[in-house]
Amino acid sequence: MHLNKYLTLILLYFVINLHSIPILQSSDTVQTTSIYNPEQNEGLEGGDMVPQPFQKSLTDRGVAIKPASSNRWAGGVVPYEFAANITANNSAFIVAQMRAMENLTQVNNTQCISFRPRNASDLYFITIFNGSGCYSPVGSWGSYIGTRPVSLMHGTYSTCMVSGIVQHELTHVLGFYHEQSRPDRDSYVSIQWANIDPSQAFNFVKYNDSQVDVEMTSYDYGSVMHYEWNAFALNSSGPTIIPTQNTSAYIGQRIRLSPVDILAIQRYYGCVPTPNITTTTISTTITTTLMSSTTTTSIISSMGNSSTVMSTTTTAATSVIIDTFWKL
Ligand SMILES: *[C@@H]1O[C@H](CO)[C@@H](O)[C@H](O)[C@H]1NC(C)=O
Ligand SMILES: *[C@@H]1O[C@H](CO)[C@@H](O)[C@H](O)[C@H]1NC(C)=O
Ligand SMILES: *[C@@H]1O[C@H](CO)[C@@H](O)[C@H](O)[C@H]1NC(C)=O
Ligand SMILES: *[C@@H]1O[C@H](CO)[C@@H](O)[C@H](O)[C@H]1NC(C)=O
Ligand SMILES: *[C@@H]1O[C@H](CO)[C@@H](O)[C@H](O)[C@H]1NC(C)=O
Ligand SMILES: *[C@@H]1O[C@H](CO)[C@@H](O)[C@H](O)[C@H]1NC(C)=O
Ligand SMILES: *[C@@H]1O[C@H](CO)[C@@H](O)[C@H](O)[C@H]1NC(C)=O
Ligand SMILES: *[C@@H]1O[C@H](CO)[C@@H](O)[C@H](O)[C@H]1NC(C)=O
Ligand SMILES: *[C@@H]1O[C@H](CO)[C@@H](O)[C@H](O)[C@H]1NC(C)=O
Ligand SMILES: *[C@@H]1O[C@H](CO)[C@@H](O)[C@H](O)[C@H]1NC(C)=O
Ligand SMILES: *[C@@H]1O[C@H](CO)[C@@H](O)[C@H](O)[C@H]1NC(C)=O
Ligand SMILES: [Zn+2]
């Protein structure tokens, strides 16, 4: 009975969302396969975000959610519990992604954010369960009393057990929306409304500066929080999101936090200062990120070089951030 219901649900998703997406595996090899995108859960805001229970409507919601004071996890610590239907094998995979995120966001060998099993005195914690799709709350939900549901399912036709999907969902938990919801997104991507299922158009919402904080980072095609090129497409052979600054840029990677994701988390949690627009602070922060993890370093060095960064910084104040980090 339950099984039938699930099979129908799975098949329905399969039909509706069937398209070819690159599945980025934890081994970091890219494999293209036909599978529904488990992050595209119809009816949930942004495909994979659970509305706060006290929010008035799905449209009443806020890159980093504001205000940070009531959406950040205290001390950057996220207590978690696993529901019984997450297998030991999958919980080990999820915990490994938590460790990877902690390592990537370290500043000077000190943890910036961390995940730990909830203890008996924790009032606020996430519950990771095997639901239908991959979705999560955005931010800590403050002092809300009740379940903070994080669905990381693992099924026959679909799975959230992909390094970058788990990191994506946990980054929502830390307080971040999708990259293409940034206030400045129209300067970086062209949303192809004609190819978007009208009932899913809300997934392409753009927030304003009073709702979200870009943490003085540039728009990042490489963000683990960016949708892929044909997310929620009517015709999935055609795009819904075209990167306009670099039409061949790859969007929607699901391997790990990008260097800019890392910086945004470090700034939101106050682990590095959010700079005012000055060349000195920016280059200091870049140095900090470069030093914080060898993985980050390799990504950065394969995408740009610091002399480019330095020369860009001297041009115009506002484009500094954008150009600087984009070249990273
Ligand atoms: C356990 O997880 C690993 C990595 O996710 C996977 O390759 C393996 O097939 C899983 N084993 C079982 C029994 O599910
Ligand atoms: C995180 O860093 C610790 C300490 O350096 C190391 O033991 C662990 O293997 C790292 N884990 C991951 C997932 O990178
Ligand atoms: C248990 O949770 C409480 C409340 O969040 C926290 O103050 C305390 O440090 C935790 N204890 C341990 C051993 O992590
Ligand atoms: C897993 O458990 C949660 C609650 O513990 C439940 O809501 C969910 O439906 C379960 N998933 C499956 C596939 O049974
Ligand atoms: C998780 O849910 C999927 C369907 O949503 C199901 O195929 C799978 O067996 C479930 N796993 C567990 C351990 O309950
Ligand atoms: C931001 O958007 C919200 C919701 O649409 C709106 O109420 C608010 O006035 C907007 N703020 C600015 C500064 O545009
Ligand atoms: C879907 O899009 C592709 C690529 O743009 C196009 O070649 C094809 O004709 C479209 N199919 C339909 C049914 O519109
Ligand atoms: C544009 O994106 C492609 C693919 O990611 C990359 O190889 C190329 O270097 C990028 N070009 C610029 C100017 O950044
Ligand atoms: C990290 O260490 C460097 C060198 O000791 C120091 O200059 C910098 O201020 C430190 N950064 C933070 C955020 O503590
Ligand atoms: C940025 O400027 C404000 C106001 O001038 C100041 O209070 C703040 O400390 C500065 N922040 C940094 C990181 O320099
Ligand atoms: C770094 O950028 C500068 C300025 O664009 C360029 O002249 C130099 O060749 C680049 N170095 C490397 C190693 O790519
Ligand atoms: Zn998401």
57-113: per-residue pLDDT in tens? 333 233 798 888 889 999 999 999 999 999 999 999 999 999 999 999 999 999 999
Higher pLDDT among residues 323 and 149, named by residue: 149
Q: Are residues 162 and 23 in the same domain?
A: yes
- Does residue 51 have a pLDDT over 50? yes
Q: Ligand 9 within 6 A of 272 CB?
A: yes
- What's the pTM? 0.75
Tell me, in angstroms, the distance from the centre of ligand 4 to residue 197's CA: 29
Q: Are residues 23 and 158 in the same domain?
A: yes
Instruction: Kindly report, residue by residue over 24-36, the tens digit of the pLDDT.
Output: 222 222 222 334 4
pLDDT of residue 202: 86
In the listed set 125, 145, 174, which residue is the last one of a domain according to the structure? 174
Whether 153 and 131 have beta carbons less than 8 Å apart is answered as: yes
Domain assignment present for 328: yes
Tell me, in angstroms, the distance from the centre of ligand 9 to residue 274's CA: 14
Domain assignment present for 83: yes
In the listed set 133, 158, 174, which residue is the last one of a domain according to the structure? 174
Which position has the token pair 């409304």? 193
Instruction: Kindly report, residue by residue over 135-157, the tens digit of the pLDDT.
Output: 999 999 999 999 999 999 999 88
Domain assignment present for 234: no
**Which of 125, 129, 151, 154 has the most ligand 4 atoms within 8 A of CB, as the residue to mutate?**
129
Kindly report which listed range (62-66, 159-163, 268-272, 315-319) carries the lowest average pLDDT score.
315-319
Q: Are residues 168 and 43 in the same domain?
A: yes
Question: What is the extent of the structural domain holding 142?
Answer: 2-174
172 is in an annotated binding site: yes
- Does residue 7 have a pLDDT over 70? no
Domain assignment present for 251: no
Token pair of 161, please?
């057990």
Higher pLDDT among residues 209 and 300, named by residue: 209
Q: Which residues surround ligand 12, an ion (CB under 5 A)?
A: 48
Higher pLDDT among residues 131 and 305, named by residue: 131
Q: Are residues 16 and 159 in the same domain?
A: yes
Mean of the per-residue pLDDT values of the chain: 75
pLDDT of residue 181: 96
Kindly report which listed range (219-233, 243-257, 292-306) carries the lowest average pLDDT score.
292-306
| Rounded-to-integer distance, Cα 190 and Cα 186, Å | 6
pLDDT of residue 260: 96
Whose alpha carbon is nearest atom 14 of ligand 5? 85
19 is in an annotated binding site: no
- Does residue 20 have a pLDDT over 70? no
Whether 63 and 214 have beta carbons less than 8 Å apart is answered as: yes
pLDDT of residue 46: 65
In the listed set 133, 159, 174, which residue is the last one of a domain according to the structure? 174
Q: Are residues 169 and 35 in the same domain?
A: yes
Catalytic residue among 39, 169, 215, 228: 169
- Number of domains observed in the structure of the chain: 2
What torsion do the CA atoms of 264, 151, 122, 84 make, to the nearest 10 degrees? -150
150: exposed, middle or buried (Cβ count in 10 Å: 0-12, 13-18, 19+): buried
Domain assignment present for 17: yes
For residue 133, the domain's CATH number is: 3.40.390
Domain assignment present for 126: yes
